[in-house]
């Protein structure tokens, strides 16, 4: 199973972050499956790759450490594909979404940590 994680600190209040992230994930061709004020689950839309390669995305918004100007969030992306190659499908989607978060015009990226 391929699995990639990353954490970000962005300069946006936590109450505004969730709807902005939902929009960003949809713009990345991901379908929102479930969400709460501090959690979002999305997945790749079936049809372009085999079922085992479909990527699932989980976003956790850390409201416990959020301030009025900064919020920490973590993303986990995974699929059933064995990561036999460094540049596998899950890694490609991970890098695409990571870059979308890092370059979003909706917030200023304070810090990014890949895990």
- Which residue range is the domain that position 39 belongs to? 2-114
CATH number of the domain encompassing residue 27? 3.30.310.220
* pLDDT per residue as tens digits for the range 56-84: 999 999 999 888 889 999 999 999 988 77
The number of domains in the chain is 1
Contact 5, 75 (CB under 8 A): yes
Q: Which pLDDT band, with edges at 50, 70 and 90, does 4 fall under?
A: very high
pTM for this model (two decimals): 0.90
What local confidence, expressed as pLDDT, does residue 67 receive? Answer: 87
Q: How far apart are CA 22 and CA 3, in angstroms?
A: 21
Q: Is 111 exposed, middle or buried (0-12, 13-18, 19+ CB in 10 A)?
A: exposed
């Amino acid at each position: 199973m391929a699995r990639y994680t990353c954490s970000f600190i962005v300069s946006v209040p936590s109450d505004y972050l969730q709807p902005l992230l939902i929009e960003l994930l949809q713009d990345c061709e991901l379908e929102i499956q479930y969400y709460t004020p501090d959690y979002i689950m999305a997945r790749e839309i079936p049809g372009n790759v085999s079922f085992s390669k479909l990527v699932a995305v989980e976003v956790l918004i850390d409201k416990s450490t959020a301030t009025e100007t900064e919020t920490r969030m973590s993303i986990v992306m995974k699929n059933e594909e064995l990561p036999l190659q460094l540049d596998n499908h899950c890694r490609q989607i991970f890098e695409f979404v990571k870059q979308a978060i890092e370059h979003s015009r909706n917030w200023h990226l304070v810090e990014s940590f890949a895990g």
